[in-house]
Amino acid sequence: MLKEIGYELPVIISKNAIVNKDVSIGEGTVILEKAMINVSSTIGRCVIISTSAIVEHDCKVGNFVHLAVGAIIGGEVEVEANSIIGVGAKVIQGRRIGINCVISAGRIVINNTLMEGTYSGIPARRLDLSNPLKGIIKESE
């Protein structure tokens, strides 16, 4: 709505963040203290890269993604739109996080998480929120 009425959405980068000069950053994105974004990564629109989060080389971070405090995504990871990587969560290299996925705090993603939902456990697996007693669903790709 802001864009429709003429506002420009600036990119805001902390002076204490490290962002490689070869990184593409979309409008409205905020990169906070001690965050690091490495070479050849692409960051979408209105993304939040929180304090001490790390985006390694050749990553693609979609629009409206939030990498929480201390989250780490390894090289060549793709995080699709509207997803959240929780506090201290880690995604190993070459993995893909689908649209509308939530990776719970402190979790480790070793497989692609392509189905919309919340992922928990180590390794991270999708939760069955329709049946809380059932718990974690084993997911096949």
Q: Band of the pLDDT at 140, cuts 50, 70, 90?
A: very low
- What's the whole-number average pLDDT of the chain? 93
Summarize the confidence of residues 51-75 as an average pLDDT: 98
Across 94-111, average pLDDT? 98
Q: Which of 11, 36, 57, 112 is catalytic?
A: 57
In this structure, is the dihedral angle defined by the CA atoms of residues 76, 10, 48 and 54, taken in order, positive or negative?
positive
Region 98-106: what's the mean pLDDT?
Answer: 98
Domain ranges in the chain?
9-126
| Chosen CATH of 9-126 out of 1.10.10.10, 2.160.10.10, 1.10.1060.10, 1.10.3720.10 | 2.160.10.10
Sign, CA torsion 52/13/80/133: positive
What would you report as the CA-atom Rg of the chain, rounded to the nearest whole angstrom? Answer: 15
| Mean pLDDT score, 3-21 | 94
Higher pLDDT pick, 6 / 27: 27
Residue pLDDT, tens place only, 61-70: 999 999 999 9
Per-residue pLDDT tens digits for 78-91: 999 999 999 999 99
- Annotated active-site residue 66? The verdict is no
Whole-structure pTM value: 0.90
